[in-house]
Amino acid sequence: MDEFLSRAVELAVDNVKEGGQPFGAVLVKDERIIAEGVNELHKTYDVSGHAELLAIRRAQEELRTNDLSGYTMYASGEPCPMCLTAMYFAGIDKVYYCQSVEDAIKVGLGKSSMIYEEIKKERADRSITMTRVPLEREQENPMQLWKTVNK
Ligand SMILES: [Zn+2]
């Protein structure tokens, strides 16, 4: 196995031994580890405390950039939709992982799989109720303002 993927799995195993969930991630550029993360939900009250997201956050803080294009994520488990989304926003274009969301279901960690199914649905069919309320006429339009400012 690739050394970076092996490191991600090692992080995941250590995290389980410390009472956490079985997820570790390593963010790599030019064959060098830039940041690492493990699932920290057992330590922090933060649902975004996933291994990949924390690795991304650490790299971005360290490098003072939102652009991680050219970086590769190595994750012990297939990224959840939240982490995958963060990778899209950051421009990460390659992910290697060991265990799939189907493997996760088998041990009782089925939320990622459920969310992947949810986001395929039409808005009205999702379990989270989403209601669009248009801007009031007298309100300043934030998007129009942004467009004006960023011409
Ligand atoms: Zn995640």
Q: Which pTM does this prediction carry? A: 0.94
Q: Which residues surround ligand 1, an ion (CB under 5 A)?
A: 50, 80, 82-83
- 54 alpha carbon to ligand 1 midpoint, in Å? 9
Q: Tell me the pLDDT tens digit for each residue of 80-104.
A: 999 999 999 999 999 999 999 999 9
Is the pLDDT at 70 greater than 90, yes or no?
yes
Q: Tell me which residue has tokens 């956490």.
A: 20
Catalytic residues: 52
The stretch 27-44 carries a mean pLDDT of: 97
Q: How confident is the model at residue 111 (pLDDT cuts 50, 70, 90)?
A: very high
Average pLDDT, the chain: 97
Q: Do the beta carbons of residue 36 and residue 7 sit within 8 Å?
A: yes
Report d(CA 96, CA 7) in Å as an integer.
12
Mean pLDDT of 4-9: 98
SS3 68: coil
Distance 75 CA to ligand 1 centre (A): 10
Report how far ligand 1's centroid is from the alpha carbon of 97 (Å): 12
| In the predicted structure, residue 26 carries a pLDDT above the cut 90 | yes
Predicted local confidence at residue 46, as pLDDT: 96
CA of 146 to the centre of ligand 1 (A): 30
> Residue 1 — very low, low, confident or very high, per pLDDT cuts 50/70/90?
confident
What distance in angstroms lies between residue 147's CA and the mean position of ligand 1's atoms? 32
pLDDT score at 138: 92
What would you report as the CA-atom Rg of the chain, rounded to the nearest whole angstrom? 18
